[in-house]
Amino acid sequence: MTDRLFAVIPCAGAGVRAGADVPKQYRSVAGRAMLHYALAAFDACSEFAQTLLVLAPDDAHFDGRRFGNLRFAVRRCGGTSRHASVLNGLQALAEFGAQDSDWVLVHDAARPGITPALIRALVGALRDDPVGGLLALPVADTLKRAVPGDEGGAVSVVQQTEARDALWQAQTPQMFRLGMLRRALEAALTAGAEVTDEASAIERLGHHPKLVRGSLRNFKVTYPEDFALAEAVLGAPVR
């Protein structure tokens, strides 16, 4: 196979919902910066041609010495949204010889539970697929659609219960051909469409990304209480 594998990790967000004085990707979890775990998982997959970390131009917290000898490159081309940061990262991959036909896996820096096995499972399931896809999990919880309550919106009330049949919770990495993904993100940007992940941009073009079963371990650290869970997960041996 001549198509190569690349990874892009957008890391330009401030992580304000995590309630910290530094971006959450740099907070220590189980003895290491949270970002270390995602970089280490891709570093362990020697089949990748390059992993690109996309930082904000004014990021004063990143210190490459915290990540030892892990293989990755850095470009300070992050945008004002995840959408923009990923698109800028895709364009920067041209510096490393990436072609439109190559595969790119986009992964959230705030998902430190990713493992080489999950990455390889995704690649194995999609390498010959015409579109690509993403790690995801079937929704297990009962879903409630809410409307603001009578206390200034601080307390919501249930409008209705939503059927969870056939619903999946998207994770990352999300894996698509570089050229297709770039065109999808550019089209969404031109249309002013809000896309919260790469798959939704691909869907706007009429494609149907495949769902590859992920893991509860691969959850996204978003709120302050998530750090304790991340400590427990990352401090335990991978099974």
For 44-57, the pLDDT digits (tens) are: 999 999 999 999 99
Are 177 and 132 in contact, with CB atoms under 8 Å apart?
A: yes
Indicate the range of 5-19, 125-139, 150-164, 201-215 predicted with least confidence. 5-19
238: pLDDT confidence band, cut at 50, 70 and 90? low
Are 111 and 7 in contact, with CB atoms under 8 Å apart?
A: no
E strands of the chain, at which residues? 5-11, 28-29, 32-33, 48-55, 73-75, 103-106, 132-138, 143-148, 156-162, 168-177, 210-213
Residue 16 has pLDDT above 50, yes or no: no
DSSP secondary structure code for residue 155 in this structure: S
The model's pLDDT over 227-237, given as tens digits with 9 standing for 90+, comes to 999 999 998 76
- Please tell me the distance from the alpha carbon of residue 33 to that of residue 162, in angstroms, as a whole number: 38
pLDDT value for 132 = 98
Residue 151 has pLDDT above 70, yes or no: no
CA 168, 14, 183, 214 dihedral sign is negative
Other CB atoms within a 10 A radius of the CB of residue 34 amount to 24
pLDDT value for 156 = 86
- Please tell me the distance from the alpha carbon of residue 87 to that of residue 182, in angstroms, as a whole number: 6
C-alpha of 61 from chain center: 20
